[in-house]
Structure 1
Amino acid sequence: MIKKNPFPFFLLTVVLIAIDQGSKLAVHHYMEPGFAGQVKLIGDWFKLHYVLNPGMAFGMQLGYEYGKLLLSVFRLFAMVGIGYYLVHLAHRGAPNGLLWAIAMILAGAVGNVIDSTFYGVFLHNAPYGSPTPWFHGQVIDMIFVDVWEGFIPEWVPVWGGQYYSTPIFNIADSCIFIGVCLILLFQRRFFGGFDPEDGMLPTSGPDATQASVLPMSEVEEESTPTPAHSDRTDESTDDTRRNDIHGVSATPTIPKED
């Protein structure tokens, strides 16, 4: 098993968090919320649009009094769990692509945790009537890919009859989305020869860092004797036992010449 240093992957996480937080603070200080401060970047479909999101990614939320608090606590535990899993996979020699993807997901989780935990206190954007500003901060969203808007048909369950537009999101949401898509698209490459628990074993070589690796299943197959080899071994053992019974040495002796 070739252990990898998780530092480069955590470094990517830190860089993405800095970009995410920098963009959110810039939008908060220099843009007006809503359509009044909207900025068109590419035509009429790619815009910056400042909105506050009290819930989860893409505006989803839990609709009861302590839903936001539970969501924030869940995000904290998820952040710790993802970070631990990243270290776990790195120490077991996981493919770099998988580690980069998880580092992106971790960056997105941490970015939104910062919003939920601190923005209600330092940016004073907790919803009116929140039990406490801590853990009730609203996430700042600004990326608006405006490709469709309108009313959803009445026959559609849950959302039928409601006005809908393309969700507005942020850098943290993008990191989570891209990381998950990478894992789904390349899961056979990431997990084809890798077990998150057993990792991958290096083959013999003078330099462990340059040695190729084999999946655990292949190592077990190589260490298991073939049926033909096993039969030959059994026959040799039986011949030796018969010779011992009759007082015949299994190894012929060559008489010495005078």
Structure 2
Amino acid sequence: MSLKKASFIIILILLIDQLSKIYIKTHFALGDRTIVFNWFQIAFVENDGMAWGTKLSDFIPFISEETAKLCLTLFRIIAVFGIGYWLLSSIKKQASKTLIIAVSLIFAGALGNIIDSVFYGVLFNDSYSQVATFLPAEGGYGSLFHGKVVDMLHFPIWKGVMPDWIPFFGGKFFTFFEPVFNVADVAISTGIGILVLFNKKAFNENEPIKEHNAANYEANV
């Protein structure tokens, strides 16, 4: 798979991710919710930490939230450089198409959330009880590298009280699926899922040779 095709995947995901986030940020106040179907809702939340809203300061209590946020953003940037190197190296080595697609999805998703973390604090004012403004005259809600990730996709497919016999969750009200996420998160999860489910195909070094031979056969025919 060529760099051009991988770049197309990355750009497409980034456009969908950022356009959806900018729309939500400029049309919804924090906490607003639109019910599309009973099992699918648009719910505006912001995440200033790691996955599931976890914060680095929860694990390292002696550092401030501002410092923790900066460290997390810098870590994400370093991770994206690492993923980008992995992608370029895979393309150069003519790795399997499955691997390149998966890494492209992970790279695009990680980069999409980094854009929020790095720039959104400067580009928007806060969304508390109001719809945010893009490039507000009074300045943004934070500084560079201290932005919050915009989430909006919510799939509460099932809600109810769990049976008492289920360990830990028995007798408790439970929602599946509770987390709110974004397009970038979907891309990352899909990329990881491909690597897990199609591991042998993704890391099959013989696949490029097979594809090359098939291309030559078709050309000769």
TM-score (norm 1): 0.65
Specify the code of the residue in structure 2 equivalent to 1:210. Answer: N
Using the TM superposition, give the Cα deviation of residue 62 of structure 1 relative to its aligned residue in structure 2, in angstroms. 1.4
Cα deviation digits, residues 152-203 of structure 1 (max 9, x gap)? 99x85xx9xx987500000000000011001100001122335xxxx9668x
Pick one of 191, 198, 221 that aligns with 1:179. Answer: 191
Identity %: 32
Specify the code of the residue in structure 1 equivalent to 2:20. Answer: S
Contact 1:119 1:126 survives alignment (8 Å): no
Specify the code of the residue in structure 2 equivalent to 1:169. Answer: F
CA distance in 2, matches of 1:164, 1:54: 24
Residue 83 of structure 1 is matched in structure 2 by 84
Please identify the structure whose Cα radius of gyration is greater.
Answer: 1
Answer yes or no: is 1:137 the counterpart of 2:147.
yes
Contact 2:39 2:157 survives alignment (8 Å): yes
Using the TM superposition, give the Cα deviation of residue 25 of structure 1 relative to its aligned residue in structure 2, in angstroms. 0.5
Using the TM superposition, give the Cα deviation of residue 49 of structure 1 relative to its aligned residue in structure 2, in angstroms. 0.3
Residue 23 of structure 2 is matched in structure 1 by 26
Using the TM superposition, give the Cα deviation of residue 61 of structure 1 relative to its aligned residue in structure 2, in angstroms. 2.1
CA distance in 1, matches of 2:190, 2:45: 22
Contact 1:124 1:133 survives alignment (8 Å): no
Specify the code of the residue in structure 1 equivalent to 2:44. Answer: Y
Question: Helix, strand or coil: the match of 2:216?
Answer: coil
- Aligned CA-pair RMSD: 3.4
Specify the code of the residue in structure 1 equivalent to 2:216. Answer: Q
TM-score (norm 2): 0.75
Using the TM superposition, give the Cα deviation of residue 115 of structure 1 relative to its aligned residue in structure 2, in angstroms. 0.2
Q: Assess, with a 3 A threshold, how the Cα gap between structure 1 residues 183 and 118 changes in structure 2: closer, same or farther.
A: same
Question: Helix, strand or coil: the match of 2:43?
Answer: strand
Residue 210 of structure 1 is matched in structure 2 by 216
Pick one of 189, 196, 201 that aligns with 2:201. Answer: 189
Answer yes or no: is 1:53 the counterpart of 2:47.
yes
Using the TM superposition, give the Cα deviation of residue 45 of structure 1 relative to its aligned residue in structure 2, in angstroms. 1.8
CA distance in 2, matches of 1:81, 1:163: 41
How many equivalent pairs are there? 193
CA distance in 1, matches of 2:161, 2:144: 36
Q: Show the 5 A alignment for 1:109-148.
A: 109-125=110-126, 133-148=143-158
Question: Helix, strand or coil: the match of 1:52?
Answer: strand
Cα deviation digits, residues 194-238 of structure 1 (max 9, x gap)? 5xxxx9668x98xx9637xxxxxxxxxxxxxxxxxxxxxxxxxxx
Cα deviation digits, residues 58-112 of structure 1 (max 9, x gap)? 3222125222111100110111111111110011111111111111101100000
Q: Show the 5 A alignment for 1:58-73.
A: 58-63=52-57, 64=61, 65=64, 66-73=67-74
Q: Assess, with a 3 A threshold, how the Cα gap between structure 1 residues 123 and 25 changes in structure 2: closer, same or farther.
A: same
Answer yes or no: is 1:39 the counterpart of 2:49.
no
Point out which structure has higher relative CO (alpha carbons under 8 A, 6+ apart): 2
CA distance in 1, matches of 2:94, 2:116: 33
Using the TM superposition, give the Cα deviation of residue 32 of structure 1 relative to its aligned residue in structure 2, in angstroms. 2.6
- Unaligned segments of structure 2, at least 5 residues: 129-141
Q: Assess, with a 3 A threshold, how the Cα gap between structure 1 residues 118 and 7 changes in structure 2: closer, same or farther.
A: same
- Unaligned segments of structure 1, at least 5 residues: 212-258
Cα deviation digits, residues 5-40 of structure 1 (max 9, x gap)? 312102210110010000000001112321xx3111
Q: Assess, with a 3 A threshold, how the Cα gap between structure 1 residues 93 and 5 changes in structure 2: closer, same or farther.
A: same
